[in-house]
Amino acid sequence: MFASTARLALAAGLILTTAACAPPAKPVTDPKVDAVLERSRTTQATYAAYAWVNVERPDEDPTVEWSAEFHSGAKHRVETPADRIVADCAAGTGKIFNIASSEVREGPQYARSACGVNSNNELLEKAYVGVRQTPTGPVDRIRVADAELVRIYDIDQNGVIVGTTFKLKNEDNKTVLSVLKTVVEGDLPAPDIFDDASLQRSVVPDRYKVAPET
User: pLDDT tens string for the chain (214 positions)?
Assistant: 444 444 445 444 444 444 445 555 667 899 999 999 999 999 999 999 999 999 998 878 889 999 999 999 999 999 999 999 999 999 999 999 999 999 999 999 999 999 999 999 999 999 999 999 998 899 999 999 999 999 999 999 999 999 999 999 988 899 999 999 999 999 999 999 999 999 999 999 999 999 877 5
134, part of any domain:
yes
21, part of any domain:
yes
Q: Are 163 and 151 in contact (CB under 8 A)?
A: no
Reduced to 3 states, what is the DSSP secondary structure of residue 70?
A: strand
177, part of any domain:
yes
Tally the domains of the chain: 1
113, part of any domain:
yes
Longest dimension (CA), the chain: 44
**CATH code where residue 19 lies:** 2.50.20.10
Q: Which domain does 131 fall in, by range? A: 6-187+194-202
pTM: 0.87
213, part of any domain:
no
* Angle, CA of 138, 142 and 148, to the nearest 5°: 145
1, part of any domain:
no
